[in-house]
Structure 1
């Protein structure tokens, strides 16, 4: 669907407020569609990936690989899917392969790109690319220094229940639970591709 030109805001002045390790904060003065001015404060983020790893059991049913991790800004241990930020110039699929291996120890025989999501459109440029992974092989985790997380598995039904009950509040995991439900039902088919010969970047 094309953009409606009558809704577009035009940047006139841009001011960088903060530059951190991977985040930048900006304040722009913009011209609104009616000709008046306003300011917009937002974060520039390099982008990220999230992975829905499917572990097939002997009964043919899938379990989802999940993580528990303390997230300092909200002060809580969160249930979430494996994820990580893109390095400068990095393509999303190699990033997804790297993050899955580093955080969980799993490599995947097949990958499928599901789509992308904008995590916080009012104040951040962050785009998260969604990947599904299956044909998992367990290996050794390679956590970054200072990274502490617990890996566990759950049935898709358990994950959906936790989402409904408010035990899962992480936005990317909530969105991917919707994807998972529709993929497993056959409503949203995926284009599965064989992984390269190794999942080590």
Structure 2
């Protein structure tokens, strides 16, 4: 569980915000908060898609409530970083939407992966600002949760593929049976069809 950020200074909090969202939906990349902020200020502004933003904020509300306050801080103090954070978090949002189409089990497993990745991002960012034994322990726990979640997701994917392969095998067997029957009755079917077409023409054999 990620500890609250209220104990950090305002400057430290802003550093956490910038670092935590610099890595997007995957593992955190090593980067310093100040340099990220300068880079963001130099970068040309990108138009934030409103529908994309709504999807991200809904995901945060439903599954990542611990980062809502961070996004609020970014929106107020670092609008460019806020836009970048939304765009990065949108990757997780799209993954969740895609997983939902594959069923409830796939969706729940993807939620666990996203939650663990978010926790890791925040903890790595906090440790960059200030070392802390509790945060180290929490990071180890979050790393374990992510690995187990990814393992469970991979197992589910394999199970789903096996299920589809079983169905495909059954369909193949049925198709092969139909093919065999059609091959064995080829000449008979040709003659029967010929007689039908001949009668349709008004002619007799």
Provide TM-score, normalisation by structure 2: 0.21
Please tell me whether Structure 1 or Structure 2 has the larger radius of gyration of its CA atoms. 2
Say which structure, 1 or 2, has more relative contact order (CA 8 Å, 6+ apart): 2
Q: Greater share of helix residues, 1 or 2?
A: 2
Provide TM-score, normalisation by structure 1: 0.22
